[in-house]
Structure 1
Amino acid sequence: MAMTMNGEVQLPASREAVWARLNDPEVLKACIPGCEELTRTEANEFQAVARMKIGPVSARFKGKITLSDLDPPNGYRISGEGEGGVAGFAKGEATVVLIDQDGGTLLKYDVEAQTGGKLAQLGQRLIGGTAKKLADEFFANFAKAVQG
Structure 2
Amino acid sequence: MTIQIKGSFVVPADRAKTWDFVSTPDKIVTCLPGLQESRIDGNKIFARIKAGVGFIKGTFAVTCVIAENDRERYHAKLVISGSGAASSFNADVLIDLKEAASGGSELTYSSDAKVSGPLGSLASSMIEGAAKKLVDQIFTCVKEKLS
**Same fold by TM (over 0.5)?**
yes
Deviations 1:58-84 (A, max 9, x none): 011113110022111512001110110
Cα distance in structure 1, aligned partners of 2:28 and 2:69: 17
RMSD, matched Cα: 1.4
Report the CA distance between 1:11 and its aligned residue.
0.8
Contact conserved, 1:29 with 1:37, CA < 8 A, in 2? no
Cα distance in 1, alignment partners of residues 61 and 115 from structure 2: 14
1:136 is matched with 136
1:38-117 equivalences under 5 Å are: 38-41=38-41, 43-73=42-72, 74-86=74-86, 88-101=87-100, 102-117=102-117
TM-score normalised per structure 2: 0.91
- The CA distance in 2 between the partners of 1:38 and 1:93, in whole Å, is 20
Question: In the TM superposition, what is the alpha-carbon distance from 1:49 to its structure 2 partner?
Answer: 1.1
**Mapped pair 1:35 → 2:11:** no
Please, what TM-score do these two structures have when normalized by structure 1? 0.91
Structure 2 distance, partners of 1:78, 1:33, is 18
Q: Contact 2:25 / 2:44 at 8 angstroms: preserved in 1?
A: no
Q: Percent identity?
A: 24
- The runs of at least 4 aligned residues of structure 1 exceeding 4 Å deviation read none
Q: Is the 8 A contact 2:79 2:93 kept in 1?
A: yes
Q: Secondary structure at the match of 1:18?
A: helix
Distance 1:79 1:117 in 2: 20
- Does the aligned pair in 1 maintain the 2:61–2:83 contact within 8 Å? yes
Note the residue ranges of structure 2 that are not aligned, 5 or more in a row: none
Deviation at 1:85, TM superposition (A): 4.4
Q: What SS is found at the alignment partner of 1:139?
A: helix
Corresponding residue pairs, total: 145
Match of 1:93, SS state, is strand
